[in-house]
Amino acid sequence: MPNPADEELLAATAVSKRFGGVRAVEDVSISVRRGEIASIIGPNGAGKTSLLNMISGFYRPDSGSITYEGRDITHSRPAQIAKLGIARTFQNIALFGGMTVLDNIMLGRHVRMKSGVLSSFIYWGLAQREEVAHRARAEEIIDFLELQDLRKELTSALPYGLRKRVELGRALALDPKLLLLDEPMGGMNQEEKEDIARYVLDVNEQWGTTIILIEHDMAVVMDISERVAVLDRGRKIAEGTPAEIQRNPTVIEAYLGSAHQARERAA
């Protein structure tokens, strides 16, 4: 029998995306196996977030296709993709600052609510029973992310690192099969990065969630990823294990070239 861990969960095949004359992503193919942590790295402007936006339905590819569990989702809307079990976080925190930690995480349950968000909050029939069940799940996530003492705090009052943790919680509230993390550790100090890395590993190992990670901290990427794809100027230039990527001369040149150009501009 085939090993479920070898099963392809998501595949993007020859996808491209342009904005006017700007080539954001050009003929990129990646696949992710069920249960793995795969990372996408590359210099700024390499097309990493644009690729994630196509997978999550925020952008539609100009060409190519995207399949999830064997189903073509190339032209599906974000809400449809979320219902299939794909959740994401964003580079820039997208929380509702005037709402509490608990309410923000509860909003992540909305696609699981048969009665809808509005009726869930005004306690009508099924909605009341649903609200109780969904709140219990939200509380589990709060405990998992060690946010117990902050559940009633407004997210706008939280430090940056904790707001990033709440955003992770809201994505987890979807109970995703595939979690897309767009720089979840950006702007954090070393201790905060270690906490998020631990949560990511626990989500993968304990819940079996497949993860696609975009992250600039190479130490974290190489430590927790099973496979790494490298983009540069919209194209995939390498893919392999962390060890293979670290030895790849094309990858080294892409990163050293970016650093060299930055020094020249600063000179």
Do 180 and 168 lie in one domain? The reply is no
Q: What pLDDT sits at residue 120? A: 47
Number of domains in the chain: 2
Amino acid at 58: F
Pick the last residue of a domain from 160, 175, 190: 175
Amino acid at 192: E
Query: Which residues are bridge partners to 231 per DSSP?
Result: 236
Q: What is the dihedral of CA 108, 112, 114, 120, to 10 degrees?
A: -30
Rounded Cα distance, 81 and 43, in Å = 28
Pairing of strands 210-214, 37-41: parallel
Q: 45 or 267: which carries more pLDDT confidence?
A: 45
Rounded Cα distance, 57 and 65, in Å = 12
Q: What confidence tens digit (pLDDT) does each residue in 144-176 have?
A: 999 999 999 999 999 999 999 999 999 999 999
Confidence check: pLDDT of 263 > 50: no
Number of neighbours of residue 15 by Cβ within 10 angstroms: 25
Do 133 and 75 lie in one domain? The reply is no
Rounded Cα distance, 121 and 128, in Å = 8
Q: What confidence tens digit (pLDDT) does each residue in 172-201 have?
A: 999 999 999 999 998 899 999 999 999 999
Q: What pLDDT sits at residue 92? A: 72
pTM (2 decimals)? Answer: 0.86
Q: What confidence tens digit (pLDDT) does each residue in 53-95 have?
A: 999 999 999 999 999 999 999 999 999 999 999 999 987 777 8
Confidence check: pLDDT of 214 > 90: yes
Q: Mapping DSSP to helix (H, G, I), strand (E, B) and coil, where does residue 197 land?
A: helix
Contact 21, 35 (CB under 8 A): no
Contact 174, 143 (CB under 8 A): no
Confidence check: pLDDT of 48 > 90: yes
Domain range for 57 is: 1-85+176-267
Asked if residue 92 belongs to a domain, the reply is no
Rounded Cα distance, 176 and 201, in Å = 15
Number of neighbours of residue 152 by Cβ within 10 angstroms: 9
Asked if residue 213 belongs to a domain, the reply is yes
Pick the last residue of a domain from 118, 152, 175: 175
Percentage of the chain with pLDDT > 70? 85
Band the pLDDT of 125: cuts 50, 70, 90: low
Pick the last residue of a domain from 175, 205, 237: 175
